[in-house]
């Protein structure tokens, strides 16, 4: 099993969610985060004082998937989160050791 | 026959006329006017709204979230403390008979001020409470200069002492029968007594307390400009009570003050916004709202004496000069006047106090000069004297008071408290709890 973690632009969340749903990923966790890569921040102006805001709002999606589904999941995220402009984000793939469904106690593949 | 009858008829007519003229003729001196009184009752409420929630929100939105409550609390409690101090002692020292510098104690505890006693055409109690709101808002303005780093106890002590050392003497000197008013200085609603006074005190406090931790390096943008605009709007609307109410009557003078207030403020909004647009590239809401306050401040001393077109010019000038003070002067000089009390209230107050020296001229549509002043030159000199005295006097006295309070209880919060935020550190609460 793998944990797919993707940082994406916030307005892309709905599209990515639908794309993942479409390939059979039934659950995701979403966090609001801030960050930057090579995309520069922007300048804000307050009473003549300029602030460079480096940290841009992003959204992090995490989904636990069966290893067989990994390539499809990556492709789905890449396709739906892409705008072609700088700051689209990144996808990280982690090895997932164990998954447990709290309500029933099911584990691993049965818990996904 | 006619020689006798005519004078007799005349005498009879005169006697009859006198009999019916009675009340008006005898009591022209002091009579309660319910129109004036009704207006002044409302004007007082409007000034209260200027402070809470107006000023509270205006300032509260500009600080960081972790310090929101500390600003709201300082404004609320300072307003309340000054109210009590004014009634107990302040009113007497400001407005009772004294000398050219300070009043006396004859009206301490509001002695002799009954529901029947009059001040002009309104109850004296009403005059006293209207003036109370002025005495209470002025120290509250100062709070913005040392925001985010001053101990609550020190705030109360400093401003409580400052009321008696700086506000009340100035109020007496300009409005209460003292020397500045006697010179014919024009300060219709408190450009000097309130705004320059508070502005200078704020500047001195900002310097004595020192800059906030991380100032210049860490971004400290306003956490809620919606609050700030809401506060600015309440200030604008409430200011009609402040300015038009300073006519102490429901008459043409009040109407002039109201028109001038609206025009100057609007002009200042446009001036600051356009200046920012041209110079910095984008017009900001904080700039426009700050422009509004600058315009309101500048027209405050001038609203009863300038002509409406003069008000537009004054407002526009104040908008641009205050923008310069906030965006450039502050950075060049290096002081951390957190919420720009000096840049907006001090500087715009100076623009207004000097500007009316010129705009009072009937040749410029003004209502005429003050006292015996015969022309622009004389009036301007008198205005400058008032401004200069205030800058020096309040500057020095504020400095002394701050050092005194520092000696006894310390002015600034600890490093940890400043980092954690004053809301939790000084007041044990958070403004935002999820």
CA distance B249 to B428: 45
In sequence order, what DSSP letters do the residues of chain A get, joined into one string?
A: -EEEEEEE-GGGHHHHHHHHHHTT----EEEEEEE-SSS--EEEEETTEEEEE-PEEEEEEEEEE-GGGHHHHHHHHHHHH--SSTT-EEEEEEE----B-TTT--BGGGG-
Q: Which residue in B has a C-alpha nearest to residue A50's C-alpha?
A: B219
Q: Which residue in A has a C-alpha nearest to residue B328's C-alpha?
A: A48
Minimal CA separation from A70 to chain B, in Å: 36
Kindly state the average pLDDT of the residues B339-360.
97
User: Residue A63, CB half-sphere, CA atoms under 13 Å: how many?
Assistant: 25
* Residue A48: φ, ψ to 5°: 85, -15
Q: Which residues of B touch A48 (CB under 8 A)?
A: 276, 280, 323, 326-328, 330-331
At a CB cut-off of 8 Å and minimum separation 6, what does A69 contact? A23, A24, A25
Helix (H, G, I), strand (E, B) or coil at B105: coil
- pTM value is 0.89
B331 and A53: CB-CB below 8 Å? no
If we measure between CA atoms, which residue out of B410, B404, B401, B390 comes closest to residue B349?
B390
Kindly state the average pLDDT of the residues B406-414.
98
Kindly state the average pLDDT of the residues B344-367.
97
CA distance A48 to B287: 8
**CA–CA distance from A102 to each of A2, A5, A110, A111, B412 (Å)?**
19, 21, 12, 9, 51
Of A47, A49, A53, the CB nearest to B290: A47
Q: Which residues of B touch A50 (CB under 8 A)?
A: 280
C-beta of residue B45 within 8 angstroms of C-beta of residue B131: no
B284 and A53: CB-CB below 8 Å? no
Q: Which residues pair with A32 in a beta bridge?
A: A59
Of B222, B281, B343, the CB nearest to A46: B222
Residue A39: the pLDDT is: 77
ipTM of the complex: 0.78
If we measure between CA atoms, which residue out of B296, B103, B289, B79 comes closest to residue B190?
B296
Of A45, A48, A49, the CB nearest to B282: A45
Structure tokens at B225: 């400009």
pLDDT in tens, chain A (112 residues): 999 999 999 999 999 999 999 999 989 999 999 998 887 778 887 887 777 788 899 999 999 999 999 999 999 999 999 999 999 999 999 999 999 999 999 999 899 9
Q: Which residue in B has a C-alpha nearest to residue A44's C-alpha?
A: B221
A48 and B222: CB-CB below 8 Å? no
Q: pLDDT tens across B173-220, in order?
A: 999 999 999 999 999 999 999 999 999 999 999 999 999 999 988 889
C-beta of residue B351 within 8 angstroms of C-beta of residue B321: yes
CA distance B196 to B241: 19
Q: Which residues of A touch B330 (CB under 8 A)?
A: 48
- Chain A (28-57) residues lying within 8 Å, Cβ to Cβ, of chain B: 44-53
DSSP code for B217: T
Residue B346: the pLDDT is: 98
At a CB cut-off of 8 Å and minimum separation 6, what does B327 contact? A47, A48, A49, B276, B279, B280
Mutate one of A43, A48, A50 to test the B interface: name it (highest B CB count within 10 A).
Answer: A48
C-beta of residue B184 within 8 angstroms of C-beta of residue B369: yes
B222 and A49: CB-CB below 8 Å? no
Q: Which residues of A touch B286 (CB under 8 A)?
A: 46-47
Q: Which residues of A touch B280 (CB under 8 A)?
A: 45, 48, 50
> Could you tell me the sign of the dihedral formed by the alpha carbons of B281, B284, B288, B291, in that order?
negative
At a CB cut-off of 8 Å and minimum separation 6, what does A81 contact? A6, A8, A9, A12, A15, A16, A88, A89
């Amino acid at each position: 099993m793998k944990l797919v973690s993707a940082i994406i632009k916030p307005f892309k969340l709905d599209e990515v969610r639908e794309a993942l749903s479409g390939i059979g990923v039934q659950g995701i966790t979403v966090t609001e985060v801030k960050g930057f890569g090579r995309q520069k921040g922007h300048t804000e102006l307050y009473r003549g004082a300029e602030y460079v805001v480096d940290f841009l709002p992003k959204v992090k999606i995490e989904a636990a998937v069966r290893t067989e589904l990994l390539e499809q999941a990556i492709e789905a995220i890449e396709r739906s989160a892409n705008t072609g402009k700088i700051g689209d984000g990144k996808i990280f793939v982690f090895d997932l050791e164990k998954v447990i469904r709290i309500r029933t106690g099911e584990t691993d593949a049965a818990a996904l | 026959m006619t020689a006798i009858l005519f004078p007799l008829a005349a005498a009879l007519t005169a006697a009859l006329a006198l009999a019916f003229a009675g009340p008006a003729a005898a009591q022209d001196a002091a009579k309660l006017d319910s129109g004036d009184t009704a207006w002044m009752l409302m004007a007082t409420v409007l000034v209260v709204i200027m402070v809470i929630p107006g000023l509270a929100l205006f300032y509260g939105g500009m600080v960081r979230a972790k310090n929101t409550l500390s600003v709201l609390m300082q404004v609320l409690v300072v307003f309340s403390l000054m109210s009590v101090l004014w009634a107990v002692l302040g009113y007497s020292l400001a407005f009772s008979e004294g000398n050219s510098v300070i009043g006396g104690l004859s009206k301490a505890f509001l002695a002799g001020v009954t529901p029947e006693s009059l001040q002009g055409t309104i109850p004296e109690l009403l005059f006293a409470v209207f003036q109370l709101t002025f005495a209470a808002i002025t120290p509250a303005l100062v709070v913005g200069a040392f925001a985010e780093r001053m101990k609550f106890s020190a705030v109360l002590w400093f401003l409580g002492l400052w009321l008696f050392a700086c506000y009340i003497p100035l109020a007496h000197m300009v409005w209460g029968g003292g020397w500045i008013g006697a010179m014919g200085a024009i300060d219709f609603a408190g450009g000097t007594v309130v705004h320059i006074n508070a502005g200078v005190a704020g500047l001195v406090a900002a310097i004595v307390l020192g800059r906030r931790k991380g100032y210049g390096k860490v971004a400290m943008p306003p956490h809620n400009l919606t609050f700030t605009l809401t506060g600015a709007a309440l200030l604008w609307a409430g200011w009609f009570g402040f300015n038009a109410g300073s006519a102490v009557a429901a008459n043409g003078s009040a109407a002039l003050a109201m028109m001038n207030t609206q025009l100057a403020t609007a002009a200042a909004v446009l001036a600051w916004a356009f200046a920012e647009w041209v110079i910095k590239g984008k017009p900001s809401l904080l700039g426009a709202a700050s422009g509004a306050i600058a315009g309101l401040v500048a027209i405050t001393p001038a609203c009863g004496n300038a002509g409406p077109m003069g008000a537009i010019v004054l407002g526009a000038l104040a908008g641009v000069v205050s923008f310069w003070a906030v965006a450039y002067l502050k950075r060049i000089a290096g002081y951390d006047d957190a919420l720009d009390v000096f840049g907006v209230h001090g500087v715009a107050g100076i623009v207004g106090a000097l500007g009316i020296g010129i705009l009072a001229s009937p040749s410029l549509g003004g209502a005429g000069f003050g006292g015996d002043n015969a022309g622009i030159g004389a009036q301007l000199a008198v205005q400058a004297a008032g401004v200069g005295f205030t800058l020096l006097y309040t500057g020095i006295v504020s400095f002394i008071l701050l050092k005194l309070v520092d000696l006894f209880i310390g002015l600034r919060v600890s490093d940890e408290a400043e980092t954690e935020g004053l809301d939790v550190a000084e007041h044990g609460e958070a403004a935002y709890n999820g």
